[in-house]
Structure 1
Amino acid sequence: MLFYPIDIDDSSEGILLFGITEDGRREKFIDSSYRPYFLVLPSDKKKAAAEIEKIVREKSLPVTEITEDKRIFYGQEREFIKIYTKRHQDLQKVRDAIKILEAKRGGSGSIIDEFEYQISPYRMYLAEKQLSCLQWLEIETHRNQIKSIKKATANPPKLKILAFDMEVIEVQRGTPSIVMISIFGEGLSRVITYQEAKYTIDATVVKNEKELIKNFIENVRDYDPDIIVGYNTDLYDMPILRERAKQLKVDIGILSRDNSGITLSKRARFTTARLIGRVHIDIFNFVFNILSPILQSEQLTLKNVSQELLGDTKLEMEYEEILQAWDKGHELDKLARYCLKDSELVYELSKMLLPDIMELTKITGQSLFDTSRMPYSQLVEWYYIKKAKQQNRVIPNQPKFDEIKERQKITYEGGFVKEPEVGLHKGIAVVDFASLYPSIIATYNISIDTLNCNCCKESGYKVPDFPYWFCKNIRGFESQAIEELLMERLELKKQLKTLNPESHEYLELDTKQKALKTIINASYGYYAYPASRWYSKECAEAITALGRYWIKEVLTKAEQKGFHPIYADTDSAFLKIDSKEEVLQFIKEINQSLPGVMRLDFEDFYVKGLFVPRQIGGVAKKRYALVDEKGRLKIRGLEVVRRDLCRYARATQQEILRICLIEEDIPKAFKYLDERIKALREGKYDLKDLVVYEQLSKPVSEYKLISPHVAAAKRLLEKEIPVGEGSVIGYIIQKGSGSISERAYPIELAEPSKIDIDYYIENQILPTAMRILKVFKKENKLF
């Protein structure tokens, strides 16, 4: 039988696999073959085995078997003791009992350390068997028990996706109530509520909140989605739904395919909401963890992210309007359409982003639920764990809290930055290394197990200015793993050049190469990540040293060719040139001299560019604006792309940039600034344009330093408006005494007549505008 798992869990019965059979049935199968174990590295194997058996016998520990095993440990094959336990939760108990044998704990010293006792059972199961969710498996079963399992190949089944959104208000003091739920999927577009009105959309009207939740559950049961998607639903919708269902005594078990309902868990600082067997994906997590560095949106709200990615956005409705619509019973159709639009946007975002998340799931070899919530560091970690199991390597332990704290104190030199030449320049070619740091890892065999090896002290890969070298004889674990991804992506990009960009095959391969790029580009940072299992300050330091060496080589050779370098940062160089052809030839010559898989690319040509100074002396890296041959602006590091300034300030700077760079009319730019300031003073502005948005990363009560958005959030809570971890707070600054935080008011409670216009002019409009204009003022001429 062919089976396509979409979710995985563990229980006392074994590993639970939920998915789709080849004939389209949604089924659950159990694999009881998983046996929990951990590894012990002995210093004296015979003595350690005897002492462990004695402890197990005397303490009646739940150990089922003790065997010997050989594993690769940081590049060397070592002998380990393998201890099996009855249940997975027994691993920690048994490990705690035998760790007293370590010399560092005052024991006999017969064991050095223990490994692989902290990884969850279903994650270990996937890594051990080299499986992942979202891949076809050929299974033999007896009833619902799996007897054999192996990978298979077939076209993926169509997954049913349901998006939902809730409208919540405080009907009674301190008690959030759900007044509306919208659902959107293929062939389904509906709002559920409990106030009658003339609705212009499909609306189911029930008698109260309890019936609303019941009706939502019935819709989920009838539609039977494989994936339920929302936006910020981990932190907001799911916890509220779970609590209201509990208070109103509504059974929401059917939301999960094992009838367990919503399971909330704390992961680091954030809560996750799980529906076992039916995957809950909070699109916000993927946007926040993976997409945020490349988005221009000032805050990662559904409104802004949809606008940027989909070209579509939410309907306009403020919280006060929602309250009034519900309390007074008017504009309920507007509220319903507002709620439904949110679900539609989430559904469209999921169609766009789920292919990327699914590819990452297959690369890491983990579950769709977990992968959708992984930051860059975890994506690399689980890819490494998968590769480690494939090569019979030991998975390093996660560092302890104290060790993480110590690592956080460690610093080292990063990438090379040539300070930009302030001012306006014409004819700029930008060249950059393709995946510089990952290609250095692969080319120089940079890995923990190849660092300062015994065999290559004189002949290994040397690191400039450091007493480090890397082995030339034995392939390192991390370097091999990253090179495989680099080569796979290179092959995919070759295939893409032969395909029609509109074809399904092109989109499929492009999605895969982007997922590979995500993990490839995170590989360097993982070495320096304090909580990394494969942490190495020396490897990270070596990578940046080699990066500095090669970008300096490019600059030196560019000058020898007659180009004028005006700026460089880590992996890219900005060269003033006379012709593009000369640069292309230069790149070709450079690439002939580069070692291994390193490659220099031509990014683009810009007709002109502006590099601006810091506020106080010097110049800032990555603070520039460029104009390409089609007249398009590319902006980096300027306030236009910052999220902590109001829209009015950003829009003013962007228009000034456009006038200066495209129209080349500096007097007009100064005049425009005067007009913008005058408009503010005369009240000719939209209040929304003065709002600054910031997100709460934890509950309001946990903040020690009260910044403006926290102060504004507190004012909302005082007015019984629900906000919490994950909420985006929009605030303005009003007149009065005290600090900026003391004068920060949420937009919902702002008084237009009290806006502190002088604050906005002096602290936002003028600084951002003059960052551009003072360059021209100083030069006293344009070109």
Structure 2
Amino acid sequence: MQSSGSPKVRGWIFDVYPSNIGEMAVWIISENGQRIRLTDKFQPKIYVSGIKEEQEKLVGKIYANPDVANWNFIYKFVQPMDSEKSRVLEITLKDCRKVSSLTNQILKIGDYMRLEVHNCDLRGDRTYFFTHDLFPLAFLEVENLKADLKYTLLDSVESINYTLPPMRIMHLKIEIAKTRKIASLQDPIANISLEQEEKRFIIDSGNEAEKLLQLSKMVKKLDPDIIVTKGGDSYIFSYLLQRAIVSEMSDKFILSRDEVPFVPKTQQGKTFFSYGRTFYKAPTIRLYGRVHIDAGNTFILNESSFQGLFEIARICRAPLHTSSRSSIGSSMSSLQFYQAFKQEMLIPRNKSIPESFKSAYELLVADRGGFVYEPKVGIHDNTGEVDFSSMYPSLMVNNNISAETVLCKCCPDSHLRIPELNYNVCEKRKGVVPKVLKLVVDKRLKYKRLRDEVINPKLKEMYDNRQIALKWILVTCFGYLGYRNAKFGTVDGHIGVCAFGRAAFLRAARISESRGFEVLHGIVDSLWLKKDDSNLEDYENLCREVSDEIGIPLNFEGRYKWIVFLPSKMHPNVGVLNRYYGVMDSGKIKVRGIEVRKHDTPRFVYNAQMEMINMFSTANNSTEFMQKIPKVLNVVKAYRLKLINGEVPIEDLIVFKHLSKNPKHYQQHASQVIAAEQLIAEGSKVRAGNSVSFVFTDSNNKRFDRRVKAE
């Protein structure tokens, strides 16, 4: 750790967090590779709205509050729908860690009805970035003045060819000397493994106190920027802290760059429900001056590597440790909060825009989701697939869909109307949602173009990971628009996007049919088309015409040698919307909705099904496909024989299942519940949202505890 001796430093802003009261610690990775700690004065602001008399009463009650630095009456846009600013009470706090407690005091003073608090959900580090118009890993020049820091930004979130500092990334693993089948906090440390820059270090000598002290010294010596664990949030760091307490050296056990000892975590993990599934999220274990990433508690890193994570942190203006753990919806919220902050629009504590009243007929007409063409069951030759690029996000941008623009009061006679419901959309101002989405849509298109143009494999991978990260924001933005807790969401806008989407999709299908194509299948934003004697140019011309007509890019994904649309298991004559497999002219195999795509499929089943598909993939048409069926059935027989003869490794038979609720709340002894109960009996903590792994031992046994064996 170094403090800057020079008044000016050029480099990348790496980490920000509250230090002393009224101060923020700021870590810079300088151009010459130094890790420099600076301190800046910072006092956050919250805002209180309500009638004038209530605001003035509040001033009298908080005047002597020790957490309040000062207050003032100013004008802001209070509600997203407001077209004029209103008077609000601006309260400046001495310490950003006191925002939550002061918010609760104010709400209590107003009996939770008469006063509303705004911008109170922004954490101190995020507020600091917003206030200074900065973002993580921004390249800048910072001048260390006596009173505060002065920033000169030399970077932009819109940049696609930005440079990043060389990161030191350490992987930390702990091996526990278990005394039972399941490790516990009371078990001693067996060894500690560290990997950084292709070098591996093993700490396995000495007693526990010496091992922990060696770990602290090694981390300080190697000085990593990022420490990656698997289970650090949920178990590893809690375990290490417990062993440090037992060894009476918790004050010396330091992994942060800022020399702050670990403190026991008081925050509990949370279980939440999203898109039909229950998830469990462990509480964050924070390091200071370094970033801890739990590989088991990060979605974006697993989907798009570090390049995708850095892109999300930059564009969403969220600290790295937060970005790595955030859901994509939370990242989307951060983008919207910054845009609102920039437009002097207050961020509500709770969603404040209700759904407009609709008659039963209006609901029947409008609330219908996306348009689909039921697939024609069977195998089809020479089928082309076309796909709208970011269809729903593009519709939201093109049609200005946001909470404050749909059914706005300023444009009742707007020419921009939502189909079928005829709702007006604002023409006087651009909404928060389309503003932030335009940035994401435009950047992703540029990354995809660069990925396809460059030859260098490292650059190709980098651009691909960045566009994948942005893709997930675009994938979730439509659902988040209708989410009940989205502060700039709107159910009416959500319904409107579906209506615009249905109209665009139907127009694309009609244009395709007018050009002689047959629609074999269609779902929301993708069409599978067939035309005798068609060539690639026919598909490309069609895409160009539809793109020009509708205003959203329609891409030709490729042509299949053959594709199989599978039927429903319950109704053999009815096709399933998203269950198919096929081989393109390029040789690429595309599979959806079958076992090889499911996360809980045992490796044995995956290998068997992939071998069957690979054998089919050598067929050039449906006739050759049918001729290969006997050989494919022989594959099934061979795998069955391996299983009967006990030739399959036990790890290839492991099944993974998700728990939608706590094990004790299940009424039936399903396989995953039995496995969870076995783990609990061994001392493990199993919660709703966790996954359990097990093997089937005797699935029909009358004693349910003998049906499976937990891993």
- In structure 2, what is the Cα distance between the partners aligned to 1:291 and 1:524? 22
Q: Which amino acid aligns with 1:643?
A: H
Residue number in structure 2 paired with 1:342: none
Give secondary structure in 2 for the equivalent of 1:165: strand
* Superimposed CA distance per residue, residues 369-406 of structure 1 (whole angstroms, 9 cap, x where no aligned partner): 11111111011011111222222221222459x99xxx
- In structure 2, what is the Cα distance between the partners aligned to 1:697 and 1:240? 27
**Contact 2:675/2:692 (<8 A) preserved:** no
Cα distance, 1:691–1:89 mapped onto 2, change above 3 Å: closer
Residue number in structure 2 paired with 1:771: none
Q: Which amino acid aligns with 1:17?
A: V
**Contact 1:607/1:629 (<8 A) preserved:** yes
1:491 deviates by 4.2
**Contact 2:351/2:488 (<8 A) preserved:** no
Give secondary structure in 2 for the equivalent of 1:745: strand
State yes or no: 1:532 paired with 2:486.
yes
State yes or no: 1:53 paired with 2:63.
no
Residue number in structure 2 paired with 1:759: none
Instruction: Please give the TM-score of this superposition, normalised by the length of structure 1.
Output: 0.76
State yes or no: 1:36 paired with 2:44.
yes
My pick for the range that moved more, 469-478 or 148-157, is 148-157
Residue number in structure 2 paired with 1:644: 600
Q: Which amino acid aligns with 2:84?
A: E
1:284-433 to 2 correspondence within 5 Å?
284-286=296-298, 288=299, 291=302, 353-399=305-351, 412-433=367-388
Residue number in structure 2 paired with 1:24: 33
Give secondary structure in 2 for the equivalent of 1:472: coil
Cα distance, 1:619–1:93 mapped onto 2, change above 3 Å: same
- In structure 1, what is the Cα distance between the partners aligned to 2:592 and 2:542? 26
Cα distance, 1:547–1:104 mapped onto 2, change above 3 Å: same
Cα distance, 1:63–1:183 mapped onto 2, change above 3 Å: closer
Give secondary structure in 1 for the equivalent of 2:92: strand
- In structure 2, what is the Cα distance between the partners aligned to 1:511 and 1:361? 14
**Contact 2:15/2:28 (<8 A) preserved:** yes
Residue number in structure 2 paired with 1:635: 591
Cα distance, 1:515–1:644 mapped onto 2, change above 3 Å: closer
Cα distance, 1:191–1:122 mapped onto 2, change above 3 Å: same
**Contact 1:709/1:731 (<8 A) preserved:** no
Residue number in structure 2 paired with 1:737: 701
**Contact 1:445/1:475 (<8 A) preserved:** yes
- In structure 1, what is the Cα distance between the partners aligned to 2:145 and 2:324? 32
1:470 deviates by 1.4
**Contact 1:398/1:533 (<8 A) preserved:** yes
State yes or no: 1:588 paired with 2:544.
yes
Cα distance, 1:187–1:592 mapped onto 2, change above 3 Å: closer
Residue number in structure 1 paired with 2:516: 562
- In structure 1, what is the Cα distance between the partners aligned to 2:668 and 2:36? 50
Q: How many residues align?
A: 655
Residue number in structure 1 paired with 2:68: 63
Give secondary structure in 2 for the equivalent of 1:490: helix
Give secondary structure in 2 for the equivalent of 1:52: helix
**Contact 2:402/2:432 (<8 A) preserved:** yes
- In structure 1, what is the Cα distance between the partners aligned to 2:96 and 2:76? 21
State yes or no: 1:219 paired with 2:183.
no
Give secondary structure in 2 for the equivalent of 1:261: coil
Cα distance, 1:90–1:729 mapped onto 2, change above 3 Å: same
- In structure 1, what is the Cα distance between the partners aligned to 2:638 and 2:397? 55
Cα distance, 1:678–1:729 mapped onto 2, change above 3 Å: closer
Q: Which amino acid aligns with 1:64?
A: A
1:430-441 to 2 correspondence within 5 Å?
430-441=385-396
**Contact 1:527/1:536 (<8 A) preserved:** yes
1:630 deviates by 3.6
State yes or no: 1:192 paired with 2:197.
no
1:551 deviates by 1.4
Cα distance, 1:480–1:170 mapped onto 2, change above 3 Å: same
Q: Which amino acid aligns with 2:80?
A: Y
Residue number in structure 1 paired with 2:273: none
Give secondary structure in 2 for the equivalent of 1:38: strand
Cα distance, 1:147–1:641 mapped onto 2, change above 3 Å: closer
Residue number in structure 2 paired with 1:77: 84
- In structure 1, what is the Cα distance between the partners aligned to 2:613 and 2:67? 70
1:638 deviates by 0.7
**Contact 1:182/1:192 (<8 A) preserved:** yes
- In structure 2, what is the Cα distance between the partners aligned to 1:498 and 1:636? 28
**Contact 1:461/1:469 (<8 A) preserved:** yes
State yes or no: 1:129 paired with 2:85.
no
Q: What percentage of aligned pairs have identical amino acids?
A: 25
State yes or no: 1:712 paired with 2:680.
no
- In structure 1, what is the Cα distance between the partners aligned to 2:479 and 2:311? 21
C-alpha RMSD of matched pairs (Å): 3.3
- In structure 1, what is the Cα distance between the partners aligned to 2:351 and 2:282? 20
**Contact 2:12/2:138 (<8 A) preserved:** yes
1:165 deviates by 0.9
Q: Which amino acid aligns with 2:285?
A: A
**Contact 1:717/1:723 (<8 A) preserved:** yes
**Contact 2:103/2:120 (<8 A) preserved:** yes
**Contact 1:432/1:573 (<8 A) preserved:** yes
Cα distance, 1:97–1:276 mapped onto 2, change above 3 Å: closer
Cα distance, 1:140–1:738 mapped onto 2, change above 3 Å: same
State yes or no: 1:666 paired with 2:633.
no
* Superimposed CA distance per residue, residues 99-127 of structure 1 (whole angstroms, 9 cap, x where no aligned partner): 4676984x5xxx5x221123222221111
* Superimposed CA distance per residue, residues 232-278 of structure 1 (whole angstroms, 9 cap, x where no aligned partner): 32223222112112222233542112322345444534222111111
- In structure 1, what is the Cα distance between the partners aligned to 2:246 and 2:669? 33
Report which of the two has the higher share of helix.
1
- In structure 2, what is the Cα distance between the partners aligned to 1:98 and 1:557? 59
* Superimposed CA distance per residue, residues 482-524 of structure 1 (whole angstroms, 9 cap, x where no aligned partner): 12332343345555566443475x6655554444333233321
* Superimposed CA distance per residue, residues 44-78 of structure 1 (whole angstroms, 9 cap, x where no aligned partner): x3x34432233335x75743333222223425232
Q: Which amino acid aligns with 1:55?
A: K
State yes or no: 1:152 paired with 2:159.
no
Q: Which amino acid aligns with 1:24?
A: G
Cα distance, 1:522–1:30 mapped onto 2, change above 3 Å: same
- In structure 2, what is the Cα distance between the partners aligned to 1:576 and 1:647? 35
Give secondary structure in 1 for the equivalent of 2:174: strand
Q: Which stretches in structure 2 are left out of the alignment for 5+ residues? A: 1-7, 156-161, 271-280, 356-362, 620-624
- In structure 1, what is the Cα distance between the partners aligned to 2:554 and 2:202? 53
Residue number in structure 1 paired with 2:710: 746
Residue number in structure 1 paired with 2:653: 690
Give secondary structure in 1 for the equivalent of 2:325: coil
* Superimposed CA distance per residue, residues 559-589 of structure 1 (whole angstroms, 9 cap, x where no aligned partner): 2222111111111000112312222211121
**Contact 1:715/1:746 (<8 A) preserved:** yes
- In structure 2, what is the Cα distance between the partners aligned to 1:83 and 1:377? 29
1:516-527 to 2 correspondence within 5 Å?
516-527=470-481
Cα distance, 1:698–1:638 mapped onto 2, change above 3 Å: same
* Superimposed CA distance per residue, residues 596-641 of structure 1 (whole angstroms, 9 cap, x where no aligned partner): xx11111111110011111111321110001111433211001121
Give secondary structure in 1 for the equivalent of 2:701: coil
Cα distance, 1:659–1:98 mapped onto 2, change above 3 Å: closer
- In structure 2, what is the Cα distance between the partners aligned to 1:289 and 1:610? 32
Instruction: Please give the TM-score of this superposition, normalised by the length of structure 2.
Output: 0.84
